[in-house]
């Protein structure tokens, strides 16, 4: 399967402020897919980064009284640190302001679109939202305000370069209708189709050097600056060396592999309409999949850097001393494609409930008995309905990835953990352990020992499959679970799983009880 290529990207956020927990949602979703595809044996390239070249970054730097480059450097490092703290497994992190290959690639893409006759100059006047970095038509506004930020817009008049988006409506419809460009979930796909069918207008792809404050990628051979969205979208190519002769571009993009973007619902239009049209103009392959997630809210309101209600995800991670508490909440408590509300109280409950109360407690009870009776060595695993169901767990979870229902994947895992707890109670191995401590005949002792061994071995087998299925979601906890079970972490799902004869750990605390000051 290594010949099956998967290129996975997150969007690149503006760095006008430190990251909030809403962006962590996108990171962990994309990371779960990257880890899942690696375990399927795919050749995976996973890219994250930051969008440094926006006007809103410039204004935020000016407000902070800092040079723009120093300001974006500081905040970009915070986003990169968030990825490390969340245990995101990206192969590369691109920054648009300090990557010469990116600048070269943006200009190469610009020249390709211009060679297709899709770039032209014209004077333009319109209403502009700096927060969205886009012009809005009057009918798109909400009470005269930006529909995304509920803020008034600026009236801008200047001469810009425009891209002939209107030329590509039919090709975009065909690409989406045919499935060549998949948009998930279906209701986001339908929104994009409806938008295209209403008719597409050409859009501005440059900004005056004056309005951009001299910040951004220069338009080739001109005095303007490339519009930040044209610049930013190009990162998916430039991170692979497009325009600079690197072979990664040919290997992962200009090939028959999967090209998947993870984006928030507020930027779907840019990724599902503008970006494919630019690629069509340049004669390049389209993304194969666009996964669109919702927003996190606090008290029903969108979390935003500008609204002042952002929750620092790094503080949450440090509070739990592991990224997996936050990863679990974002992947289990928030439906992958819909808005979800973040609550510290529900995060605490999740940690002590399914994680600690179900999985952690079961592991502790099984390993304690196994240690006391068998010195931690796993007996032969019986073949029965329970162990067969354990073997089928991976397939059930894999299907949720196909459907972009990550929350359902964790629900499958923890539903099985619930069944394992119920099986443990039915078998009541602690009773057999007590019986063994009494006076028994040889035959009776062997029968009790065999029954107890089978009860514990089937639980170890079940927990091993749970550990394997948790690898994309909760990598640190899954690795720790493998270690406590005496198992190596597999490179692939299909790697043979043998637990009989392994030596388990006597220390079984996986999700320690939190002591609040």
CATH of the domain at 197: 3.40.50.620
Residue 343 counted as domain residue: no
Question: How many independent structural domains does the chain possess?
Answer: 2
Q: How is residue 467 written in tokens?
A: 């550990």
User: Residue 348 pLDDT > 50, yes or no?
Assistant: yes
User: Residue 507 pLDDT > 80, yes or no?
Assistant: no
Task: Report d(CA 434, CA 425) in Å as an integer.
Answer: 15
Which is nearest to 374 in space by CA: 434, 444, 449, 447?
449
Q: Is there a single domain that holds both residue 192 and residue 242?
A: yes
Residue 239 counted as domain residue: yes
Which is nearest to 187 in space by CA: 265, 102, 282?
265
Phi/psi at 92 (nearest 5 deg)? -150, 160
∠ Cα 232 234 239 (to 5°):
100
Paired sense of beta strands 5-10 and 258-264, if any = parallel
Q: Is there a single domain that holds both residue 301 and residue 402?
A: no
Q: Is there a single domain that holds both residue 168 and residue 231?
A: yes
Task: Report d(CA 509, CA 349) in Å as an integer.
Answer: 18
Confidence at residue 139, expressed as pLDDT on a 0 to 100 scale: 65
pLDDT tens-place string over residues 107-138: 999 999 999 999 999 987 667 665 555 666 66
Q: Is there a single domain that holds both residue 197 and residue 110?
A: yes
Whether the Cβ atoms of residue 515 and residue 366 lie closer than 8 Å to each other: no
Q: Is there a single domain that holds both residue 80 and residue 168?
A: yes
Banded model confidence at residue 456, pLDDT cuts 50, 70, 90 = very high
- The DSSP call for residue 167 is G
Q: Give me Rg for the CA atoms of the chain.
A: 27
Q: What is the CATH number of the domain that holds 448?
A: 1.10.730.10
Task: Report d(CA 17, CA 61) in Å as an integer.
Answer: 9
> Once rounded to an integer, what is the mean pLDDT over residues 352-365?
94
User: Residue 198 pLDDT > 80, yes or no?
Assistant: yes
Q: Is there a single domain that holds both residue 268 and residue 215?
A: yes
Task: Report d(CA 441, CA 444) in Å as an integer.
Answer: 5
User: Residue 392 pLDDT > 60, yes or no?
Assistant: yes
Residue 493 counted as domain residue: no
Residue 339 counted as domain residue: no
Confidence at residue 1, expressed as pLDDT on a 0 to 100 scale: 47
Q: Is there a single domain that holds both residue 266 and residue 379?
A: no
Q: What is the domain extent for residue 96?
A: 5-317
Confidence at residue 223, expressed as pLDDT on a 0 to 100 scale: 83
User: Residue 145 pLDDT > 90, yes or no?
Assistant: no
Q: Is there a single domain that holds both residue 313 and residue 398?
A: no
Residue 449 counted as domain residue: yes
- The DSSP call for residue 145 is B
Residue 344 counted as domain residue: no
Confidence at residue 193, expressed as pLDDT on a 0 to 100 scale: 98
User: Residue 496 pLDDT > 90, yes or no?
Assistant: yes
The share of the chain scoring above pLDDT 90, in percent, equals 75
State the DSSP string of 26-91: HHHHHHHHHHHHHHTT-EEEEEEEEB---HHHHHHHHHHTS-HHHHHHHHHHHHHHHHHHTT---S
Q: Is there a single domain that holds both residue 370 and residue 244?
A: no
Q: Give one word for 178, left, alpha or beta, with left for phi > 0 and alpha for psi -120 to 50.
A: alpha
Paired sense of beta strands 43-50 and 92-95, if any = parallel
Please state which of the ranges 37-46, 132-141, 152-161 shows the lowest mean pLDDT.
132-141
Whether the Cβ atoms of residue 340 and residue 334 lie closer than 8 Å to each other: yes
pLDDT tens-place string over residues 241-264: 999 877 899 999 998 899 999 999
pLDDT tens-place string over residues 374-384: 999 999 999 99
| 0.85 surpassed by pTM | yes
pLDDT tens-place string over residues 259-305: 999 999 999 999 999 999 999 999 999 999 999 999 998 766 667 55
Domain limit, last residue, from 300, 317, 334:
317
Return the SS3 of 384.
Answer: coil
H or E segment and range at residue 122: strand 119-129
Residue 328 counted as domain residue: no
Banded model confidence at residue 306, pLDDT cuts 50, 70, 90 = low
Banded model confidence at residue 333, pLDDT cuts 50, 70, 90 = very high
Banded model confidence at residue 413, pLDDT cuts 50, 70, 90 = very high
> Once rounded to an integer, what is the mean pLDDT over residues 53-75?
92
Instruction: Please give the C-alpha separations between residue 233 and each of 6, 109, 276, 277, 375, in angstroms, as whole numbers.
Output: 18, 11, 10, 12, 57
> Once rounded to an integer, what is the mean pLDDT over residues 447-471?
97
Rounding to the nearest 10 degrees, give the CA dihedral for residues 220, 226, 229, 234: 20
CB within 8 Å of 272: residues ≥ 6 apart: 176, 181, 183, 188, 192, 290
Confidence at residue 136, expressed as pLDDT on a 0 to 100 scale: 63
Q: Is there a single domain that holds both residue 88 and residue 233?
A: yes
Task: Report d(CA 490, CA 101) in Å as an integer.
Answer: 36
Q: Is there a single domain that holds both residue 286 and residue 426?
A: no
> Once rounded to an integer, what is the mean pLDDT over residues 452-457?
96
According to DSSP H, which parts of 321-405 are helical?
324-328, 344-350, 361-374, 385-402
Residue 217 counted as domain residue: yes
Q: Across the chain, what does the average pLDDT equal? A: 91
Q: Is there a single domain that holds both residue 116 and residue 254?
A: yes
């Amino acid at each position: 399967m290594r010949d099956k290529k998967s290129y996975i990207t997150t969007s690149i956020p503006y760095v006008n402020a430190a990251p909030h927990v809403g962006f962590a949602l996108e990171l962990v979703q994309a990371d779960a897919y990257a880890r899942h595809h690696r375990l399927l044996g795919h050749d995976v390239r996973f890219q994250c980064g930051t969008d440094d070249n926006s006007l809103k970054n410039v204004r935020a730097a000016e407000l902070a009284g800092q040079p723009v480059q120093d300001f974006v450097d500081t905040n970009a490092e915070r986003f990169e640190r968030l990825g490390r703290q969340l245990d995101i497994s990206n192969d590369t992190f691109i920054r648009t302001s300090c990557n010469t290959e990116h600048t070269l690639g943006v200009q190469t893409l610009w020249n390709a679109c211009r060679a297709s006759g899709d770039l032209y100059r014209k004077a333009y006047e319109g209403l502009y939202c700096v927060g969205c970095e886009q012009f809005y038509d009057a009918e798109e506004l909400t009470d005269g305000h930006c529909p995304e930020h509920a803020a008034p817009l600026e009236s801008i008049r200047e001469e810009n370069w425009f891209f002939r988006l209107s030329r590509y409506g039919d090709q975009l419809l065909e690409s989406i209708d045919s499935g060549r460009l998949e948009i998930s979930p279906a209701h986001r796909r339908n929104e994009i189709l409806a938008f295209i069918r209403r008719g597409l207008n050409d859009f501005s792809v440059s900004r005056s050097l004056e309005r951009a404050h001299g910040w951004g990628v220069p338009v080739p051979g001109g005095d303007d600056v490339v519009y930040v969205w044209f610049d930013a979208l190009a990162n998916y190519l430039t991170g692979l060396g497009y325009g600079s002769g690197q072979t990664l571009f040919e290997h992962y993009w200009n090939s028959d592999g999967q090209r998947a973007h993870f984006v928030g619902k507020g930027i779907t239009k840019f990724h599902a309409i503008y970006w494919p049209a630019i690629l069509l103009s340049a004669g390049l392959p389209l993304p194969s999949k666009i996964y669109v997630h919702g927003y996190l809210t606090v008290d029903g309101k969108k979390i935003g850097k500008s609204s002042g209600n952002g929750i620092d995800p790094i503080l949450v991670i440090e509070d739990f001393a592991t990224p997996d508490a936050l990863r679990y909440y974002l992947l289990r408590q928030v439906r992958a494609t819909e808005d979800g509300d973040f609550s510290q109280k529900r995060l605490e409950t999740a940690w002590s409930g399914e994680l600690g109360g179900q999985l952690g407690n079961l592991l502790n009870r099984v390993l304690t008995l196994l240690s006391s009776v068998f010195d931690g060595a796993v007996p032969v695993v019986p073949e029965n309905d329970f162990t067969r169901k354990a073997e089928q767990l991976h397939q059930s979870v894999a299907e949720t990835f196909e459907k972009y229902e990550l929350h359902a994947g964790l629900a499958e895992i923890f539903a099985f953990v619930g069944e394992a707890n119920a099986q443990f109670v039915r078998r009541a191995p602690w009773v057999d352990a007590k019986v063994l401590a009494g006076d028994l005949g040889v035959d009776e002792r062997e029968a009790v020992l065999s029954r107890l061994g089978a009860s514990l071995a089937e639980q170890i087998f079940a927990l091993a499959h749970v550990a394997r299925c948790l690898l994309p979601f909760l990598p640190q906890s899954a690795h720790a679970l493998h270690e406590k079970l005496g198992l190596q972490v597999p490179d692939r799902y299909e790697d043979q799983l043998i637990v009989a004869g392994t030596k388990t750990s006597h220390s079984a605390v996986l999700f320690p009880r939190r002591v609040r000051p």
